[in-house]
Structure 1
Amino acid sequence: MPAPESSRARGVDRVVGILKQLHIARRPLTMRELIEATGAPRSSIYELVTILTEAGWLETAADGSVFFGREMHYYGSDYAVHNDLISRAHQAILALVRNHDETAQLCMLEGNKYTVVLSENSSRPFNISSDIGVKVPIPWTATGRLLLAHLRANEIRALIPDEDFVLDNGRRVEFEAFLSDVERAAELGYCCTEGLSHTFRYCMAAPIRDRSGLAVAALCFMTSRDTAPEKRATMLEDLIRSAKALSQPYARL
Protein backbone atom coordinates (compact mmCIF):
# COMPACT_ATOMS: atom_id res chain seq x y z
CA MET A 1 0.00 0.00 0.00
CA PRO A 2 2.04 2.98 -1.23
CA ALA A 3 -0.11 5.71 0.35
CA PRO A 4 0.29 4.61 4.03
CA GLU A 5 4.00 3.97 3.50
CA SER A 6 4.45 7.45 2.05
CA SER A 7 2.52 8.94 4.96
CA ARG A 8 4.71 7.12 7.48
CA ALA A 9 7.84 8.31 5.69
CA ARG A 10 6.63 11.91 5.84
CA GLY A 11 6.00 11.48 9.56
CA VAL A 12 9.55 10.25 10.12
CA ASP A 13 10.93 13.10 8.01
CA ARG A 14 8.99 15.59 10.12
CA VAL A 15 10.29 14.10 13.36
CA VAL A 16 13.85 14.39 12.01
CA GLY A 17 13.06 17.96 10.91
CA ILE A 18 11.87 18.93 14.40
CA LEU A 19 15.02 17.54 16.02
CA LYS A 20 17.29 19.20 13.45
CA GLN A 21 15.67 22.60 13.90
CA LEU A 22 16.03 22.40 17.68
CA HIS A 23 19.70 21.51 17.26
CA ILE A 24 20.27 24.36 14.81
CA ALA A 25 18.55 26.84 17.15
CA ARG A 26 20.28 25.44 20.27
CA ARG A 27 17.43 26.83 22.37
CA PRO A 28 13.76 26.10 23.06
CA LEU A 29 11.46 27.02 20.17
CA THR A 30 7.83 28.03 20.28
CA MET A 31 5.35 25.95 18.32
CA ARG A 32 5.03 28.78 15.83
CA GLU A 33 8.80 28.85 15.31
CA LEU A 34 8.87 25.06 14.83
CA ILE A 35 6.08 25.20 12.28
CA GLU A 36 7.80 27.98 10.34
CA ALA A 37 11.23 26.31 10.53
CA THR A 38 10.06 22.87 9.39
CA GLY A 39 7.43 24.01 6.90
CA ALA A 40 5.17 21.18 8.10
CA PRO A 41 1.41 21.54 8.72
CA ARG A 42 0.44 22.97 12.09
CA SER A 43 -1.67 19.93 13.01
CA SER A 44 1.20 17.56 12.20
CA ILE A 45 3.73 19.46 14.33
CA TYR A 46 1.36 19.63 17.30
CA GLU A 47 0.65 15.90 17.06
CA LEU A 48 4.31 14.93 16.73
CA VAL A 49 5.42 17.21 19.57
CA THR A 50 2.80 15.61 21.81
CA ILE A 51 4.01 12.10 20.90
CA LEU A 52 7.68 12.98 21.34
CA THR A 53 6.99 14.71 24.65
CA GLU A 54 5.18 11.63 25.97
CA ALA A 55 8.19 9.54 24.91
CA GLY A 56 10.59 11.89 26.73
CA TRP A 57 12.36 12.97 23.56
CA LEU A 58 11.07 16.52 24.00
CA GLU A 59 10.10 18.66 26.97
CA THR A 60 7.62 21.52 26.98
CA ALA A 61 8.26 24.53 29.20
CA ALA A 62 5.61 26.50 31.08
CA ASP A 63 5.55 29.12 28.30
CA GLY A 64 4.82 26.43 25.71
CA SER A 65 8.30 26.38 24.13
CA VAL A 66 9.80 23.02 23.21
CA PHE A 67 13.30 21.60 23.56
CA PHE A 68 15.10 18.26 23.81
CA GLY A 69 14.01 15.98 26.63
CA ARG A 70 15.94 13.87 29.10
CA GLU A 71 15.72 10.71 26.99
CA MET A 72 17.79 12.39 24.27
CA HIS A 73 20.57 12.92 26.80
CA TYR A 74 20.48 9.22 27.68
CA TYR A 75 20.74 8.22 24.03
CA GLY A 76 23.68 10.55 23.50
CA SER A 77 25.45 9.13 26.54
CA ASP A 78 24.89 5.58 25.25
CA TYR A 79 26.45 6.52 21.92
CA ALA A 80 29.47 8.15 23.55
CA VAL A 81 30.12 5.03 25.64
CA HIS A 82 29.58 2.63 22.75
CA ASN A 83 31.74 4.51 20.22
CA ASP A 84 35.31 3.46 20.93
CA LEU A 85 37.00 6.50 19.38
CA ILE A 86 34.79 9.03 21.16
CA SER A 87 35.16 7.23 24.48
CA ARG A 88 38.98 7.17 24.27
CA ALA A 89 39.20 10.66 22.77
CA HIS A 90 37.25 12.07 25.71
CA GLN A 91 39.90 10.85 28.11
CA ALA A 92 42.65 12.23 25.88
CA ILE A 93 40.97 15.63 25.71
CA LEU A 94 40.55 15.78 29.47
CA ALA A 95 44.28 15.07 29.86
CA LEU A 96 45.21 17.78 27.33
CA VAL A 97 43.10 20.37 29.14
CA ARG A 98 44.49 19.31 32.50
CA ASN A 99 48.08 19.59 31.26
CA HIS A 100 47.82 22.86 29.35
CA ASP A 101 44.66 24.62 30.57
CA GLU A 102 43.55 25.29 26.99
CA THR A 103 40.36 24.30 25.18
CA ALA A 104 40.71 20.90 23.47
CA GLN A 105 38.33 19.25 20.99
CA LEU A 106 37.68 16.19 18.86
CA CYS A 107 36.70 17.33 15.37
CA MET A 108 35.41 15.57 12.26
CA LEU A 109 33.95 16.29 8.84
CA GLU A 110 30.24 15.88 8.33
CA GLY A 111 29.47 15.96 4.64
CA ASN A 112 30.97 19.16 3.27
CA LYS A 113 31.22 20.84 6.67
CA TYR A 114 33.36 20.61 9.80
CA THR A 115 31.93 19.93 13.23
CA VAL A 116 33.11 19.61 16.84
CA VAL A 117 32.21 16.21 18.32
CA LEU A 118 33.71 16.67 21.81
CA SER A 119 34.94 19.78 23.57
CA GLU A 120 36.38 20.61 26.98
CA ASN A 121 37.09 24.21 27.92
CA SER A 122 39.97 25.55 29.93
CA SER A 123 39.38 26.89 33.44
CA ARG A 124 40.15 30.45 32.37
CA PRO A 125 37.19 32.85 32.09
CA PHE A 126 37.98 33.67 28.44
CA ASN A 127 37.52 30.65 26.20
CA ILE A 128 37.67 30.39 22.42
CA SER A 129 35.68 27.41 21.23
CA SER A 130 33.03 26.19 18.81
CA ASP A 131 29.77 24.58 19.87
CA ILE A 132 29.39 20.81 19.59
CA GLY A 133 27.54 19.67 16.48
CA VAL A 134 27.40 23.06 14.77
CA LYS A 135 28.42 22.77 11.12
CA VAL A 136 31.18 25.17 10.08
CA PRO A 137 32.66 25.75 6.59
CA ILE A 138 35.75 23.61 6.06
CA PRO A 139 38.05 26.49 4.89
CA TRP A 140 37.53 28.18 8.27
CA THR A 141 39.38 25.42 10.14
CA ALA A 142 42.74 23.73 10.64
CA THR A 143 41.01 20.35 10.89
CA GLY A 144 39.43 20.75 7.46
CA ARG A 145 42.85 21.20 5.89
CA LEU A 146 44.07 17.97 7.52
CA LEU A 147 41.07 15.80 6.68
CA LEU A 148 41.04 16.65 2.96
CA ALA A 149 44.61 15.51 2.30
CA HIS A 150 43.48 12.30 0.57
CA LEU A 151 41.41 14.18 -2.03
CA ARG A 152 42.53 15.56 -5.39
CA ALA A 153 42.17 19.25 -6.18
CA ASN A 154 39.09 18.77 -8.36
CA GLU A 155 37.43 16.67 -5.64
CA ILE A 156 38.08 19.37 -3.05
CA ARG A 157 36.67 22.04 -5.34
CA ALA A 158 33.56 19.93 -5.98
CA LEU A 159 33.09 19.21 -2.26
CA ILE A 160 33.23 22.73 -0.83
CA PRO A 161 30.55 25.28 -1.80
CA ASP A 162 32.05 28.47 -3.19
CA GLU A 163 30.43 30.62 -0.50
CA ASP A 164 32.23 28.63 2.22
CA PHE A 165 35.53 30.20 1.17
CA VAL A 166 34.27 33.53 2.53
CA LEU A 167 35.20 33.89 6.20
CA ASP A 168 32.91 35.30 8.86
CA ASN A 169 34.71 38.65 8.61
CA GLY A 170 34.09 38.85 4.85
CA ARG A 171 37.63 37.99 3.79
CA ARG A 172 37.87 35.37 1.06
CA VAL A 173 40.21 32.37 1.21
CA GLU A 174 41.46 31.82 -2.32
CA PHE A 175 41.17 28.22 -3.51
CA GLU A 176 44.82 27.89 -4.55
CA ALA A 177 45.97 29.16 -1.15
CA PHE A 178 43.63 26.73 0.57
CA LEU A 179 44.91 23.87 -1.59
CA SER A 180 48.49 24.78 -0.65
CA ASP A 181 47.49 24.66 3.01
CA VAL A 182 46.00 21.19 2.53
CA GLU A 183 49.17 19.93 0.85
CA ARG A 184 51.39 21.46 3.53
CA ALA A 185 49.25 19.93 6.30
CA ALA A 186 49.66 16.52 4.64
CA GLU A 187 53.46 16.95 4.54
CA LEU A 188 53.78 18.18 8.12
CA GLY A 189 51.27 15.79 9.67
CA TYR A 190 49.53 18.63 11.51
CA CYS A 191 48.00 22.02 10.77
CA CYS A 192 47.93 25.39 12.54
CA THR A 193 45.75 28.33 11.57
CA GLU A 194 45.45 31.83 12.93
CA GLY A 195 42.59 34.31 12.90
CA LEU A 196 40.30 32.41 10.50
CA SER A 197 36.93 31.67 12.12
CA HIS A 198 37.71 34.00 15.01
CA THR A 199 39.99 37.04 14.97
CA PHE A 200 41.78 36.12 18.19
CA ARG A 201 41.83 32.34 17.70
CA TYR A 202 44.91 30.21 17.09
CA CYS A 203 44.01 26.64 16.20
CA MET A 204 46.24 23.58 15.98
CA ALA A 205 45.08 20.15 14.82
CA ALA A 206 46.66 16.69 14.65
CA PRO A 207 45.12 13.78 12.71
CA ILE A 208 43.68 10.56 14.08
CA ARG A 209 44.17 7.91 11.40
CA ASP A 210 42.49 4.61 10.60
CA ARG A 211 44.39 1.43 9.67
CA SER A 212 44.77 2.57 6.05
CA GLY A 213 46.41 5.82 7.16
CA LEU A 214 43.37 7.95 6.32
CA ALA A 215 42.75 10.86 8.70
CA VAL A 216 39.23 10.25 10.04
CA ALA A 217 39.23 12.84 12.82
CA ALA A 218 41.50 15.32 14.54
CA LEU A 219 42.43 16.42 18.02
CA CYS A 220 42.47 20.21 18.25
CA PHE A 221 43.64 22.93 20.58
CA MET A 222 41.90 26.30 20.54
CA THR A 223 44.00 29.03 22.09
CA SER A 224 44.61 32.75 21.80
CA ARG A 225 46.80 34.33 19.12
CA ASP A 226 48.96 35.85 21.87
CA THR A 227 49.84 32.47 23.42
CA ALA A 228 53.62 32.30 23.83
CA PRO A 229 55.47 30.42 21.04
CA GLU A 230 57.15 28.17 23.60
CA LYS A 231 53.79 27.11 25.00
CA ARG A 232 52.39 26.59 21.50
CA ALA A 233 55.29 24.25 20.67
CA THR A 234 54.73 22.18 23.81
CA MET A 235 50.98 22.02 23.17
CA LEU A 236 51.48 20.91 19.57
CA GLU A 237 53.93 18.18 20.60
CA ASP A 238 51.48 16.81 23.16
CA LEU A 239 48.59 17.10 20.70
CA ILE A 240 50.42 15.09 18.03
CA ARG A 241 51.45 12.45 20.56
CA SER A 242 47.86 12.10 21.80
CA ALA A 243 46.44 11.85 18.28
CA LYS A 244 48.96 9.13 17.38
CA ALA A 245 48.01 7.18 20.51
CA LEU A 246 44.35 7.32 19.48
CA SER A 247 45.33 6.09 16.00
CA GLN A 248 47.23 3.05 17.27
CA PRO A 249 44.27 0.69 17.86
CA TYR A 250 43.17 1.28 14.27
CA ALA A 251 46.68 0.69 12.96
CA ARG A 252 46.84 -2.75 14.66
CA LEU A 253 43.61 -4.02 13.06
Structure 2
Amino acid sequence: MVTEAGTNQSVERAVAVLRAFGGSSAGTLRVTEVAHLTGLRQSTASRLLSTLEQAAFVERDADGQYRLGADLITLAGVAVNGHPVHHAARQPAQSLAAATGLGANVAVRRGREAFYLCNFEGRLAPRAFALTGRRNPLHATALGKCLLLDVDGRRELLGELERYTPRTITDHAVLDTVLGQVAWQGYSTETEELSLSRSCLAAPLRDRSGRVVAALSLSGPSSVVDLATREQELSRLVVETADAINSQLGHHGPADHQISAPIRRLDQRSRS
Protein backbone atom coordinates (compact mmCIF):
# COMPACT_ATOMS: atom_id res chain seq x y z
CA MET A 1 0.00 0.00 0.00
CA VAL A 2 2.91 2.31 0.72
CA THR A 3 4.30 1.67 -2.75
CA GLU A 4 0.89 2.23 -4.33
CA ALA A 5 0.38 5.51 -2.45
CA GLY A 6 3.87 6.69 -3.44
CA THR A 7 3.25 5.82 -7.07
CA ASN A 8 -0.02 7.75 -7.09
CA GLN A 9 1.68 10.77 -5.55
CA SER A 10 4.40 10.66 -8.19
CA VAL A 11 1.82 10.56 -10.96
CA GLU A 12 -0.09 13.47 -9.44
CA ARG A 13 3.10 15.51 -9.22
CA ALA A 14 4.05 14.71 -12.81
CA VAL A 15 0.57 15.78 -13.96
CA ALA A 16 0.93 19.01 -11.98
CA VAL A 17 4.22 19.70 -13.74
CA LEU A 18 2.66 19.18 -17.17
CA ARG A 19 -0.33 21.36 -16.31
CA ALA A 20 1.99 24.17 -15.20
CA PHE A 21 2.81 24.77 -18.86
CA GLY A 22 -0.85 25.50 -19.58
CA GLY A 23 -0.54 28.85 -17.81
CA SER A 24 2.60 29.92 -19.65
CA SER A 25 1.92 32.44 -22.41
CA ALA A 26 5.38 31.79 -23.89
CA GLY A 27 5.00 28.03 -23.62
CA THR A 28 8.37 27.64 -21.88
CA LEU A 29 9.30 27.43 -18.21
CA ARG A 30 12.46 27.12 -16.15
CA VAL A 31 12.80 24.64 -13.31
CA THR A 32 12.36 27.42 -10.75
CA GLU A 33 9.14 28.55 -12.41
CA VAL A 34 7.74 25.01 -12.48
CA ALA A 35 8.58 24.61 -8.80
CA HIS A 36 6.82 27.89 -7.98
CA LEU A 37 3.71 27.07 -10.02
CA THR A 38 3.35 23.55 -8.60
CA GLY A 39 4.44 24.19 -5.03
CA LEU A 40 7.11 21.49 -5.35
CA ARG A 41 10.66 21.70 -4.16
CA GLN A 42 13.06 22.71 -6.91
CA SER A 43 14.92 19.41 -6.66
CA THR A 44 11.65 17.48 -7.02
CA ALA A 45 10.56 19.60 -10.00
CA SER A 46 13.96 19.09 -11.65
CA ARG A 47 13.79 15.32 -11.16
CA LEU A 48 10.27 15.11 -12.58
CA LEU A 49 11.20 17.24 -15.58
CA SER A 50 14.17 14.98 -16.31
CA THR A 51 11.92 11.92 -16.20
CA LEU A 52 9.33 13.58 -18.44
CA GLU A 53 12.09 14.62 -20.84
CA GLN A 54 13.22 11.01 -21.17
CA ALA A 55 9.63 10.09 -22.02
CA ALA A 56 9.53 12.92 -24.63
CA PHE A 57 6.66 14.58 -22.78
CA VAL A 58 8.78 17.71 -22.31
CA GLU A 59 11.73 19.11 -24.25
CA ARG A 60 14.60 21.32 -23.09
CA ASP A 61 16.21 24.02 -25.23
CA ALA A 62 19.77 25.32 -25.23
CA ASP A 63 18.91 27.94 -22.60
CA GLY A 64 17.68 25.30 -20.16
CA GLN A 65 14.00 26.16 -20.58
CA TYR A 66 11.41 23.41 -20.90
CA ARG A 67 8.42 23.16 -23.21
CA LEU A 68 5.83 20.44 -23.73
CA GLY A 69 7.15 17.63 -25.92
CA ALA A 70 6.02 16.38 -29.30
CA ASP A 71 4.85 13.02 -27.97
CA LEU A 72 2.01 14.81 -26.20
CA ILE A 73 0.75 15.94 -29.60
CA THR A 74 0.42 12.29 -30.61
CA LEU A 75 -1.58 11.46 -27.47
CA ALA A 76 -3.71 14.59 -27.86
CA GLY A 77 -4.46 13.64 -31.46
CA VAL A 78 -5.60 10.18 -30.39
CA ALA A 79 -7.81 11.66 -27.68
CA VAL A 80 -9.40 14.23 -29.98
CA ASN A 81 -9.90 11.88 -32.93
CA GLY A 82 -11.55 9.34 -30.65
CA HIS A 83 -14.12 11.80 -29.33
CA PRO A 84 -17.56 11.14 -30.93
CA VAL A 85 -18.43 14.85 -31.19
CA HIS A 86 -15.14 15.64 -32.91
CA HIS A 87 -15.68 12.72 -35.30
CA ALA A 88 -19.15 14.00 -36.25
CA ALA A 89 -18.35 17.72 -36.31
CA ARG A 90 -14.89 18.01 -37.86
CA GLN A 91 -15.78 17.99 -41.56
CA PRO A 92 -18.99 20.10 -41.31
CA ALA A 93 -17.17 22.69 -39.17
CA GLN A 94 -14.27 22.83 -41.59
CA SER A 95 -16.66 23.35 -44.50
CA LEU A 96 -18.50 26.08 -42.57
CA ALA A 97 -15.24 27.96 -41.99
CA ALA A 98 -14.33 27.70 -45.66
CA ALA A 99 -17.77 28.88 -46.81
CA THR A 100 -18.00 31.89 -44.49
CA GLY A 101 -14.37 32.91 -44.04
CA LEU A 102 -14.98 32.95 -40.28
CA GLY A 103 -13.59 30.73 -37.54
CA ALA A 104 -15.63 27.58 -36.89
CA ASN A 105 -15.30 26.10 -33.40
CA VAL A 106 -16.67 23.08 -31.56
CA ALA A 107 -16.62 22.89 -27.77
CA VAL A 108 -17.90 20.70 -24.95
CA ARG A 109 -18.50 21.64 -21.32
CA ARG A 110 -15.91 20.84 -18.68
CA GLY A 111 -17.20 22.07 -15.35
CA ARG A 112 -17.75 25.81 -15.59
CA GLU A 113 -15.75 26.21 -18.80
CA ALA A 114 -16.12 25.56 -22.51
CA PHE A 115 -13.38 23.20 -23.76
CA TYR A 116 -12.51 23.53 -27.46
CA LEU A 117 -12.40 20.23 -29.35
CA CYS A 118 -11.59 21.71 -32.73
CA ASN A 119 -11.12 25.05 -34.44
CA PHE A 120 -10.83 25.95 -38.11
CA GLU A 121 -9.64 29.38 -39.20
CA GLY A 122 -11.43 31.22 -41.98
CA ARG A 123 -9.61 33.59 -44.31
CA LEU A 124 -11.35 36.56 -42.68
CA ALA A 125 -10.69 35.46 -39.10
CA PRO A 126 -7.05 34.34 -38.76
CA ARG A 127 -5.57 33.59 -35.33
CA ALA A 128 -1.97 33.46 -34.19
CA PHE A 129 -2.68 30.40 -32.02
CA ALA A 130 -4.75 27.22 -32.04
CA LEU A 131 -7.94 27.19 -29.98
CA THR A 132 -8.12 23.40 -29.67
CA GLY A 133 -7.59 22.40 -26.05
CA ARG A 134 -8.18 25.90 -24.70
CA ARG A 135 -10.92 26.81 -22.24
CA ASN A 136 -13.21 29.82 -21.99
CA PRO A 137 -15.89 30.88 -19.48
CA LEU A 138 -19.41 29.69 -20.18
CA HIS A 139 -21.28 32.91 -19.35
CA ALA A 140 -19.17 35.14 -21.62
CA THR A 141 -19.23 33.11 -24.84
CA ALA A 142 -21.88 32.09 -27.37
CA LEU A 143 -20.63 28.50 -27.16
CA GLY A 144 -20.94 28.58 -23.39
CA LYS A 145 -24.51 29.86 -23.46
CA CYS A 146 -25.51 26.88 -25.58
CA LEU A 147 -23.65 24.51 -23.27
CA LEU A 148 -25.56 25.92 -20.28
CA LEU A 149 -29.02 25.13 -21.70
CA ASP A 150 -29.40 21.71 -20.05
CA VAL A 151 -27.42 22.43 -16.89
CA ASP A 152 -29.33 22.11 -13.62
CA GLY A 153 -28.13 24.35 -10.81
CA ARG A 154 -26.19 26.59 -13.15
CA ARG A 155 -26.08 29.46 -10.67
CA GLU A 156 -24.31 27.23 -8.18
CA LEU A 157 -22.04 25.90 -10.93
CA LEU A 158 -20.98 29.32 -12.19
CA GLY A 159 -20.85 31.19 -8.91
CA GLU A 160 -19.94 34.87 -9.27
CA LEU A 161 -19.91 35.88 -12.93
CA GLU A 162 -16.55 37.41 -13.76
CA ARG A 163 -16.47 40.55 -15.89
CA TYR A 164 -14.11 40.50 -18.90
CA THR A 165 -15.33 43.56 -20.79
CA PRO A 166 -17.97 46.25 -20.17
CA ARG A 167 -20.40 44.04 -22.13
CA THR A 168 -19.98 40.85 -20.08
CA ILE A 169 -23.15 39.56 -18.40
CA THR A 170 -22.48 39.56 -14.64
CA ASP A 171 -26.03 39.21 -13.31
CA HIS A 172 -27.57 35.73 -13.05
CA ALA A 173 -31.11 37.00 -13.66
CA VAL A 174 -29.99 38.60 -16.93
CA LEU A 175 -28.17 35.42 -17.93
CA ASP A 176 -31.29 33.34 -17.22
CA THR A 177 -33.32 35.59 -19.52
CA VAL A 178 -30.70 35.37 -22.25
CA LEU A 179 -30.63 31.57 -22.00
CA GLY A 180 -34.40 31.50 -22.31
CA GLN A 181 -34.06 33.41 -25.56
CA VAL A 182 -31.35 31.03 -26.75
CA ALA A 183 -33.60 28.03 -26.04
CA TRP A 184 -36.42 29.57 -28.07
CA GLN A 185 -34.48 30.76 -31.12
CA GLY A 186 -32.09 27.79 -31.30
CA TYR A 187 -28.83 29.74 -31.28
CA SER A 188 -26.87 32.20 -29.15
CA THR A 189 -24.87 35.34 -29.87
CA GLU A 190 -22.02 37.14 -28.16
CA THR A 191 -20.64 40.56 -29.04
CA GLU A 192 -17.43 41.59 -27.26
CA GLU A 193 -18.45 39.95 -23.98
CA LEU A 194 -15.18 38.02 -23.63
CA SER A 195 -12.78 40.23 -25.58
CA LEU A 196 -13.15 43.53 -27.36
CA SER A 197 -13.54 43.53 -31.15
CA ARG A 198 -14.56 39.83 -31.25
CA SER A 199 -18.06 38.44 -31.85
CA CYS A 200 -19.55 34.96 -32.05
CA LEU A 201 -22.72 33.05 -32.88
CA ALA A 202 -23.34 29.43 -31.81
CA ALA A 203 -25.85 26.57 -31.92
CA PRO A 204 -26.18 23.58 -29.57
CA LEU A 205 -25.22 20.04 -30.60
CA ARG A 206 -27.40 17.23 -29.23
CA ASP A 207 -27.12 13.47 -28.89
CA ARG A 208 -29.86 10.93 -29.59
CA SER A 209 -31.58 11.76 -26.29
CA GLY A 210 -31.82 15.46 -27.20
CA ARG A 211 -29.33 16.44 -24.51
CA VAL A 212 -26.86 19.24 -25.31
CA VAL A 213 -23.44 17.58 -25.50
CA ALA A 214 -21.48 20.27 -27.36
CA ALA A 215 -21.87 23.48 -29.34
CA LEU A 216 -20.78 24.82 -32.74
CA SER A 217 -19.89 28.45 -33.35
CA LEU A 218 -18.80 30.97 -35.95
CA SER A 219 -16.48 33.67 -34.66
CA GLY A 220 -14.25 36.47 -35.84
CA PRO A 221 -13.66 40.21 -35.72
CA SER A 222 -16.84 42.12 -34.86
CA SER A 223 -16.49 44.17 -38.04
CA VAL A 224 -16.58 40.97 -40.12
CA VAL A 225 -19.17 39.00 -38.16
CA ASP A 226 -21.33 42.16 -38.12
CA LEU A 227 -24.28 40.67 -36.23
CA ALA A 228 -26.27 43.88 -36.64
CA THR A 229 -26.77 43.06 -40.32
CA ARG A 230 -25.70 39.41 -40.69
CA GLU A 231 -27.34 37.65 -37.74
CA GLN A 232 -30.13 36.08 -39.80
CA GLU A 233 -27.73 34.87 -42.49
CA LEU A 234 -25.12 33.48 -40.12
CA SER A 235 -27.61 31.96 -37.69
CA ARG A 236 -29.20 30.02 -40.54
CA LEU A 237 -25.81 28.65 -41.58
CA VAL A 238 -24.71 27.67 -38.10
CA VAL A 239 -28.06 26.08 -37.21
CA GLU A 240 -28.18 24.11 -40.48
CA THR A 241 -24.64 22.87 -39.91
CA ALA A 242 -25.47 21.97 -36.32
CA ASP A 243 -28.51 20.02 -37.52
CA ALA A 244 -26.28 18.01 -39.88
CA ILE A 245 -23.90 17.22 -37.02
CA ASN A 246 -26.83 16.34 -34.74
CA SER A 247 -27.96 13.75 -37.27
CA GLN A 248 -24.53 12.14 -37.06
CA LEU A 249 -24.87 12.13 -33.27
CA GLY A 250 -28.26 10.41 -33.51
CA HIS A 251 -30.54 13.39 -32.88
CA HIS A 252 -33.17 13.91 -35.58
CA GLY A 253 -35.89 16.03 -33.94
CA PRO A 254 -36.46 19.34 -32.17
CA ALA A 255 -35.36 19.75 -28.58
CA ASP A 256 -38.17 18.79 -26.21
CA HIS A 257 -37.53 21.75 -23.94
CA GLN A 258 -37.78 24.53 -26.54
CA ILE A 259 -40.35 27.17 -25.59
CA SER A 260 -43.03 28.33 -27.97
CA ALA A 261 -43.05 32.10 -27.60
CA PRO A 262 -40.31 34.54 -28.61
CA ILE A 263 -38.41 36.42 -25.96
CA ARG A 264 -37.50 39.98 -26.74
CA ARG A 265 -33.73 40.42 -27.12
CA LEU A 266 -32.19 42.30 -24.22
CA ASP A 267 -30.79 45.73 -24.92
CA GLN A 268 -27.09 45.67 -24.12
CA ARG A 269 -27.50 48.55 -21.68
CA SER A 270 -29.72 46.43 -19.46
CA ARG A 271 -26.87 44.03 -18.71
CA SER A 272 -24.99 44.36 -15.48
Per-residue deviation, 1:102: 0.6
Residue identity matched to 2:214: A
The 1:34/1:56 distance shift into structure 2, 3 A limit, reads same
SS in structure 2 of the partner of residue 139 of structure 1: coil
Say whether residues 1:49 and 2:49 are aligned partners: yes
Per-residue displacement from partner, 1:128-178 (whole Å, max 9, x unpaired)? 9983333322211112221222234xx11100021x342245965211000
Per-residue displacement from partner, 1:6-37 (whole Å, max 9, x unpaired)? 22111111111011111222501111110100
Per-residue displacement from partner, 1:21-75 (whole Å, max 9, x unpaired)? 1122250111111010011122221111111111111111111111111111111
Output aligned runs, 1:194-233, within 5 Å: 194-226=191-223, 227-228=225-226, 231-233=230-232
Larger helix share, 1 or 2: 1
Say whether residues 1:191 and 2:176 are aligned partners: no
The farther-off stretch of 206-215 and 130-139 is: 130-139
SS in structure 2 of the partner of residue 140 of structure 1: coil
1:78 matched residue in structure 2: 78
Residue identity matched to 1:135: R
1:65 matched residue in structure 2: 65
Distance 1:219 1:241 in 2: 11
Q: Residues 165 and 175 of structure 1 are in contact (CA less than 8 Å); yes or no, is this contact kept in structure 2? A: no
Distance 1:129 1:217 in 2: 22
1:20 matched residue in structure 2: 19
Q: Residues 114 and 138 of structure 2 are in contact (CA less than 8 Å); yes or no, is this contact kept in structure 1? A: yes
Q: Residues 165 and 196 of structure 2 are in contact (CA less than 8 Å); yes or no, is this contact kept in structure 1? A: no
1:245 matched residue in structure 2: 244
SS in structure 2 of the partner of residue 109 of structure 1: strand
- TM-score of the two chains, using structure 1 as the length reference: 0.89
Distance 2:210 2:202 in 1: 16
Distance 1:214 1:136 in 2: 21
Q: Residues 128 and 222 of structure 1 are in contact (CA less than 8 Å); yes or no, is this contact kept in structure 2? A: no
- TM-score of the two chains, using structure 2 as the length reference: 0.83
Distance 2:5 2:122 in 1: 49
1:35 matched residue in structure 2: 35
Identity %: 21
Say whether residues 1:160 and 2:158 are aligned partners: yes
2:120 matched residue in structure 1: 120
Per-residue deviation, 1:119: 1.2
The 1:37/1:169 distance shift into structure 2, 3 A limit, reads farther
Distance 2:80 2:130 in 1: 19
The 1:169/1:29 distance shift into structure 2, 3 A limit, reads farther
Coordinate RMSD, CA, aligned: 2.3
Unpaired runs of 5+ in structure 2?
253-272
The 1:245/1:89 distance shift into structure 2, 3 A limit, reads same
Matched residue count? 249
